[in-house]
Amino acid sequence: MFESEPDLRIITVASDGLEAVQKAKELQPGVILMDVSLPGMNGFEATRQIRIFSPSSKILFLSEHRGPDVIQAAFDVGASGYVLKSDSYLDLVPGVRAVLHNQQFVSQSLADWRQNPGSAV
């Protein structure tokens, strides 16, 4: 998806939360794509630590979890955006661009997530 975007490139991939924190600390990337469900250290804890070690990195969650409590938790730990994996074809590149420009972003299908308390995770 990013190959057709000349100004965006993937610099590394992490296989778990701890590795994500280590690579963020080392590389200081502009944007980090983070999942909620990661082996070892979940995405929320990894994001908390990344906010300390790489404070200028923007974090965009890319997850299958659509519950408002999960989305709010992502923002509470320092995410700049949240994209559903099922919406990634349409929303991932715009989401990355938005967070790079210091704007919050949420998948279009989640536009009313704050109005739906108690939705299933």
For the stretch 16-59, pLDDT in tens is 999 999 999 999 999 999 999 999 899 999 999 999 999 999 99
Q: In the sheet where 105-106 sits, what is the strand order?
A: 31-34, 58-63, 81-84, 105-106
For the stretch 57-106, pLDDT in tens is 999 999 999 999 999 999 999 999 999 999 999 999 999 999 999 999 99
d(CA 111, CA 17): 27
Domain residues for 26?
Answer: 17-108
Residue 46 maps to a domain = yes
Residue 5 maps to a domain = no
- CATH number at 65 reads 3.40.50.2300
Residue 48 maps to a domain = yes
> pLDDT category, 119, cuts 50, 70, 90?
very low
Residue 120 maps to a domain = no
Q: What are phi and psi for residue 31, nearest 5 degrees?
A: -135, 140
Q: What is the pTM of this model?
A: 0.88
pLDDT value for 36: 94
pLDDT value for 114: 76
Residue 47 maps to a domain = yes
> Per the structure, how many domains does the chain have?
1
Residue 56 maps to a domain = yes
Centre a 10 Å sphere on the Cβ of residue 42 and count the other Cβ atoms it contains. 15
Exposure of 20 by Cβ count < 10 A (0-12 exposed, 13-18 middle, 19+ buried)? Answer: buried
Residue 9 maps to a domain = no
